[in-house]
Structure 1
Amino acid sequence: MEQCKKSSVSDETFDDFLAEQGLLQACEDHAIKEIIAERIEGYRLLACQADKRQDRV
């Protein structure tokens, strides 16, 4: 049986590329802020749903 070889353009990772460009820290900071914002929005939605349920009671 013949095995397929993985295609590769380079051994460099995306993090390596960003670091070379001086962008790694900024990208990581932005990603963390996005995650925090999504969680805050999720908590707001849950709180709003809980308030609506209490109004019905």
Structure 2
Amino acid sequence: MVWVLLLVLAAVVLGIIGAVAKGLLYLLVIGFVVFALALLLSAVRLRRAGRRPSR
């Protein structure tokens, strides 16, 4: 869960820098990609945690 939070934080920071700094729009795109990766990772982890182990 810590990795997901760090990825979201990194996405926010990259997005802010990419939106504010002129000529660094690619950082905004990278921020979106990192945010999507964090959402995907958390969805996979939640899906696995919901299953009960088979006996």
TM-score per shorter chain, which class?
A: 0.5 to 0.7
**Hey, what's the Cα distance between the residues in 2 that align with 1:54 and 1:26?**
41
**Bigger-Rg structure (1/2):** 1
Q: Which has the higher helix share?
A: 2
Query: RMSD of the alignment, in Å?
Result: 1.8
Q: TM-score, normalised by structure 1?
A: 0.52
Runs of 4+, deviation exceeding 4 Å: none
Q: Please state whether the residue corresponding to 2:53 is helix, strand or coil.
A: helix
**Hey, what's the Cα distance between the residues in 2 that align with 1:41 and 1:32?**
14
Structure-2 residue corresponding to 1:54: 53
Deviation at 1:23, TM superposition (A): 2.3
Point out where structure 1 has 5 or more consecutive residues left out of the alignment. 1-17
Q: Please state whether the residue corresponding to 1:48 is helix, strand or coil.
A: helix
**Hey, what's the Cα distance between the residues in 2 that align with 1:22 and 1:31?**
17
2:4 is equivalent to residue 38 of structure 1: no
User: What is the percent sequence identity of the aligned residues?
Assistant: 20
Point out where structure 2 has 5 or more consecutive residues left out of the alignment. 1-18
Q: TM-score, normalised by structure 2?
A: 0.53
Determine which structure has greater relative contact order: mean sequence separation of CA pairs < 8 Å that are 6+ residues apart, divided by chain length: 2
